[in-house]
Structure 1
Amino acid sequence: MCVGVPMQVIGSTGIVAQCQSGDLHEIVDLSLVGPVPDGTWLLTFLGAAREIITEDEAHKITAALEGLRSLMAGGDLGDAFADLESRGPQLPPHLAAAAAAGKTTA
């Protein structure tokens, strides 16, 4: 399983960036997102940026990963998923439209 890690660009040259997430520093391939300015938040997988994300999204993902690490170590989730607990489940737009149209099968 591949887990996306939010990282912030601290320097870049072309399609390669030096990024950090806490104490972790990593060289990240920007081929899929293109050149980005310093300070940009990226969702990275195995050393490659897959998506540009907002700072808020980066903090939510980081909190979720920290909550899961805590749970795996015998702790609890804390408020790692507070943004999800405050609302009910939501369907993606295409499924919500199908449900609203009364479609119940593919």
Structure 2
Amino acid sequence: MRIIACDGISGTATDGRREALIDLSLTGPLDPGTWVLTFLGAAREVLQEDEALKIRAALDGLGAVIAGGDLGDAFADLEATGPTLPPHLAAAKAAGKTIA
């Protein structure tokens, strides 16, 4: 969501379709225009705009599937790169280990 107004540790945010009162206790006061990841009415993390837009596209794609549609390009950023191993598993694979 994007913060549109802030009053101490509470703020008003929008996802483009609705506005909601958001608890900012975990992030502190934020400037209007700041993107945040929210869960259960609280801002959990400040996001960069590009990351927020990817999350929004993914949620829109999932909503479309739930409504009987298709994903479209909601996960295009992931499809273009393919899966990758976490660093510790990539190192193990490079060392020839086949058992964790």
TM-score by length of 2: 0.87
The Cα offsets for residues 52-83 of structure 1, whole Å up to 9 and x where unpaired, read as 01111111111111111111111111000000
Q: Distance in 2 between matches of 1:68 and 1:33?
A: 27
Q: 1:71 aligns with which of 65, 70, 73?
A: 65
Distance 1:103 1:49, change over 3 A: farther
* Distance in 1 between residues matched to 2:80 and 2:65, nearest whole Å: 20
**Paired positions, count:** 100
Which letter maps to 1:90? T
Distance in 2, matches of 1:23 and 1:79, equals 20
Give, in whole Å, the separation in 2 of the partners of 1:99 and 1:24. Answer: 46
CA RMSD of aligned residues (A): 1.6
**Max radius of gyration: which structure?**
2
Structure 2 unmatched ranges of 5 or more: none
Runs of 4+ in structure 1 over 6 Å off: none
Gaps of 5+ in 1: 1-6
Structure 2 residue corresponding to 1:83, chosen from 77, 92, 95: 77
Using the TM superposition, give the Cα deviation of residue 93 of structure 1 relative to its aligned residue in structure 2, in angstroms.
3.3
1:33 to partner: Cα distance? 1.2
Q: Which AA in structure 1 matches 2:50?
A: D
Inter-CA distance 78–36: structure 2 relative to 1 (3 Å threshold): same
Q: TM-score, normalised by structure 1?
A: 0.83
Residue 97 of structure 1: how far off its partner (Å): 3.9
Identity score, percent: 63
Which structure is richer in relative contact order (CA contacts within 8 A, separation 6 or more)?
1
Secondary structure of 2:81's aligned partner: coil
